[in-house]
Amino acid sequence: MPHASIQSRSNPSLRVGIVGAGVVGLACAVELLGRGAEVEVFERGETAGAKACSWWAGGMLAPWCEGESAEEPVVRLGQEAASWWERHVEGVVRKGTLVVAPSRDRAELRRFASRTSHLVEIEAEAIAALEPDLAGRFGKALFFESEAHLDPRLALAGLAAKVIALGGRIHYGREVAPEDVTADAVLDCRGLAAREALPDLRGVKGEMLLLRTRDVALSRPVRLLHPRIPLYVVPRADGIFMVGATMIEGGDRSAVTARSVLELLGGAYALHPAFGEAQIVEIGVDARPAFPDNLPRLTRRGRVIHVNGFYRHGFLLSPAMARLAADALLDPASIPERLHDVAA
């Protein structure tokens, strides 16, 4: 389908407006600035990501683990993430992912292994070597050595700083419609706020906890498998652990339910009883934007490209999707993967 003409790669002064300073908008801004475009970002909140669901993310850069339930593009495109993040922000930790299950749920571990790759199956001694505080708690585990993680809030701040350092501008407290932005091209990175333009976009509720304890230490994300509520615990600085996350179709994102908090706390306690005495620092909830296939998409409508539908893979897939969005803008004759043209 034909689309509006914009300046091509041969003109390095392409002016791009980006609406939304969550992880998607900031990643697109950094990618475009690095390739010679002029970029302005418009964010309704007062800080980067504070009003985005990426504020509540786990920050796991785990393409191989995600292959257990995600489609092939998530695994393939997600492999770009760790190196991209290392180039642009500090704090990327490459210590892999550990997947465990209680002995009664050992079948879940076998099922997980059968649906993923790039893992090694390890037993109690190796588990204790990787995570001493889990010694004696699990007899078998899966170790995905090549995966990584980061602190999402620090990463968002780092990306925002990178945008400024590269010569971009970020306007906070500015809620604007993409069609009202003065620029050669516009990227709409508003998540669920873009539903009026993307009718098949839906919200999937996610709830999380931040806990603080000095009585347990972890070096990497640990996923605890359970038939009803698989859970992950991600270590952050200063004894903080992110525990997540529920996935509730069509759930009200205005509040966290008591059931969800109990399930998350129960899962953390099953991983290690010390979490039973942890302080609850924060309880968070938001809705992940997702299309019916749970894959992100570039939807081009005239000079606007909607970059949306990241589901639970914002930090994992933003680097690849930012690259594809930049390709679409800087080379209008190209047809990047995940690009869909619609009538303006």
pLDDT of res. 5: 38
Task: Please answer whether residues 49 and 172 qualify as being in contact, where contact means their C-beta atoms are separated by less than 8 angstroms.
Answer: no
Angstrom CA distances, 304 to 28, 187, 243, stand at: 14, 6, 36
pLDDT digits (tens, 9 = 90+) for 125-144: 999 999 999 999 999 999 99
**In which band, very low, low, confident or very high, does the pLDDT at 7 lie, cut at 50, 70 and 90?**
very low
- Nearest CA-CA partner of 308 in 140, 181, 190, 204: 190
| Chain segment 307-333, per-residue pLDDT in tens | 999 999 999 999 999 999 999 999 978
How confident is the model over 7-21, as a mean pLDDT?
76
Q: Is the pTM of this model over 0.85?
A: yes
CA distances (Å), origin 237, targets 90, 149, 184, 253, 264: 13, 12, 41, 27, 20
Domain borders along the chain are 15-57+151-201+292-341, 97-145+202-290
Q: Give the tens place of pLDDT for each residue, 237-249.
A: 999 999 998 999 9
pLDDT tens digits, residue range 252-302?
A: 778 899 999 999 999 999 999 999 999 999 999 999 999 999 999 999 999
Question: Which of 74, 33, 12 lies closest to 316, judged by CA?
Answer: 74
Domain boundaries 15-57+151-201+292-341, CATH class:
alpha beta
Q: Which CATH class is domain 97-145+202-290?
A: alpha beta
Q: How many angstroms separate the Cα of 175 from the Cα of each of 41, 46, 161, 310?
A: 11, 11, 21, 21
What pLDDT does residue 267 have? 93
Strand pairing category for 231-235 and 222-224: antiparallel
- The candidate with the shortest Cα–Cα distance to 93, out of 54, 49, 151, is 151
